[in-house]
Structure 1
Amino acid sequence: MPRFAACLASLWPGLSLTEAAGRAADAGFDAVEVTDPYSAPIPELAEELRLRGLAVSAIACPPPNYTGGQRGFAAVPGLEVRFKGDLRRALRYVKALGAQNLILMAGEAEGEAARQTLLANLAHAREQPTGTRLLIRPVSPRRHPGAMLGDLGLAEEVVRQVGPEKLGLVFDAWHIHEMTGDVAGTWARLHPLVGHVQVAGYPGGHEPAGGEIDYPAFFAQMDESGYKGWVTGNYRPGGTVEAGLGWRAARGG
């Protein structure tokens, strides 16, 4: 079976990061995705993760904006200085928390200028002593109109141009399903480029069980393909988190 991590912001949104990390450990997770670690003092969060024996599967740069504002700046012409400042801050957290992946949020932009801005910013990020793998995350344009990485083909092209040894994809199965209707086929084509996986039930965004995505089959496919990265439960629990964790034991036939 894949290695499962818990997205703290999604599973325990009402708790502090340190409290949520404790709940994740108690629920049997070995790693956590801390999308927005910037709301907690680094020493406090790092110590809680150490005491709980939790790895950090990924953090985001900058934190995704869930209040209707920009969801990143890596592809936005004119905001290169802001991107570099966000990156410096994120790298301090990467080092302190031992984050294994850093998700660079592209934001809303389009056209050749945006593409060149994204490539230039990724080249800058690639040159930094990160100690982590850099990732970009394709998202459904239905949910995020104007998103630079609402084009899956463009995301693949960017990773191949920058170099898969330096840059990878976040394979958010919920978004991939909405974009392509074919999680299995898209995984078969893209899995060598994938550095991190996120899962949620479609269409409701709850536990990755039932719904339109056959997660037991997908988990089996990941195993068969040799994927060794983390699979983060990034969903809104339908009830208590603990009552809905049966999906972690689901196996394809």
Structure 2
Amino acid sequence: MPRFAANLTMMYGEHAFPDRIAAAARDGFAAAECLFPYDLAAADLKSRLDSSGIELVLFNAPPGDWAAGERGIASLPGREDEFRRGIDRALGYARVLGTRRLHVMAGLRDAATPLEAQRELYLRNLAWAAEQARSDGITILIEPINTRDMPGYLLNRQDDAQAIRAELNATNLRVQFDCYHCQIVEGDLAMKLRRDIAGIGHVQIAGVPERHEPDTGEVNYPYLFALLDELGYAGWIGCEYRPRGETSAGLGWLQPWLPQRA
């Protein structure tokens, strides 16, 4: 039976961010994810999660200057110290919040750096991050992102991400399988899930191509949910989509998958 986590960055935009936790709980979610939790003190965020009975299952490490267009710094030369400080900050939040999955964004392609050199730096930083996270039982995730939504992003394909995971051979490094991104870049979602399930640490969904609710667009999500059950996937499925309207009103797709209430 699939388990769904509300993405608090994209969903419930009709509420202030701290109030989205309670809104998700009212709609039947037991878990949430977000891009960045750092605008709230970790203890305050933990209090809100606990009072709503919500588990925060995933967030991102600091990505550099997001407002200026940066999308991660793990592969950017000269940013190694900043990267390590960001991982330390993220792990501090994860310890307080009880979060066991941390997404580390690769960054955009640096035209001044040969691709192989940028990739080597990316792998060194990922290996360091995984080592820092291991003692806390935290898994580092890497995610291929499509080139339409994020032009120039270093990592775009699932096979490339799985090759990095295999090369580093860290027990707590896994790939984030975002069905939306994968469908846009590659398609053939079911076969890729079958091929890579052992290395997948988190799954995300959205309708394709508009990135709205997963009951719209070209992807047959009920089929994929059944396949994930067949493959023994026991993790959370993050709902990283932009609602067409008011979030709660668009959750009809979720009702068959919620635990039945007495």
Q: What residue in structure 2 maps to residue 62 of structure 1?
A: 62
**Paired residues for 1:76-225 under 5 Å:** 76-109=76-109, 111-128=115-132, 129-163=135-169, 165-225=171-231
Q: Work out whether residues 127 and 170 of structure 2, in 8 Å CA contact, stay in contact via their aligned partners in 1.
A: no
TM-score w.r.t. length of structure 2: 0.90
Deviations 1:115-165 (A, max 9, x none): 111111111112213431110010112322221112433211111112262
Q: Work out whether residues 63 and 70 of structure 2, in 8 Å CA contact, stay in contact via their aligned partners in 1.
A: no
Q: Quote the offset at 1:224 in angstroms.
A: 0.5
Q: Work out whether residues 77 and 113 of structure 1, in 8 Å CA contact, stay in contact via their aligned partners in 2.
A: no
Q: Work out whether residues 157 and 186 of structure 2, in 8 Å CA contact, stay in contact via their aligned partners in 1.
A: no
Q: 1:233 to 1:64 in 2, by over 3 A?
A: farther
Q: Which consecutive segments of 4 or more residues in structure 1 shift more than 6 A?
A: none
**Which structure 2 segments of 5+ residues have no match?**
258-262
Matches of 1:138 and 1:225, distance apart in 2: 21
Matches of 2:69 and 2:144, distance apart in 1: 18
Is the partner of 1:197 in helix, strand or coil? strand
Q: What residue in structure 1 maps to residue 260 of structure 2?
A: none
Matches of 1:164 and 1:223, distance apart in 2: 25
Matches of 2:170 and 2:219, distance apart in 1: 27
Give, as a single letter, the amino acid of the residue that structure 1 aligns with 2:124. Answer: A
Matches of 2:89 and 2:23, distance apart in 1: 27
Is the partner of 1:216 in helix, strand or coil? helix
Q: What percentage of aligned pairs have identical amino acids?
A: 38
Q: Work out whether residues 216 and 250 of structure 1, in 8 Å CA contact, stay in contact via their aligned partners in 2.
A: no
Q: Quote the offset at 1:244 in angstroms.
A: 1.3
Matches of 1:142 and 1:200, distance apart in 2: 15
Matches of 1:35 and 1:143, distance apart in 2: 16
Give, as a single letter, the amino acid of the residue that structure 2 aligns with 1:112. Answer: E
Give, as a single letter, the amino acid of the residue that structure 2 aligns with 1:50. Answer: D
Give, as a single letter, the amino acid of the residue that structure 2 aligns with 1:82. Answer: E
Matches of 2:60 and 2:120, distance apart in 1: 21
Q: Quote the offset at 1:18 in angstroms.
A: 2.2
TM-score w.r.t. length of structure 1: 0.93
Give, as a single letter, the amino acid of the residue that structure 2 aligns with 1:61. Answer: A
Q: Work out whether residues 63 and 73 of structure 2, in 8 Å CA contact, stay in contact via their aligned partners in 1.
A: no
Q: Quote the offset at 1:229 in angstroms.
A: 0.6
Matches of 1:93 and 1:61, distance apart in 2: 10
**Which structure 1 segments of 5+ residues have no match?**
none
Matches of 1:7 and 1:243, distance apart in 2: 16
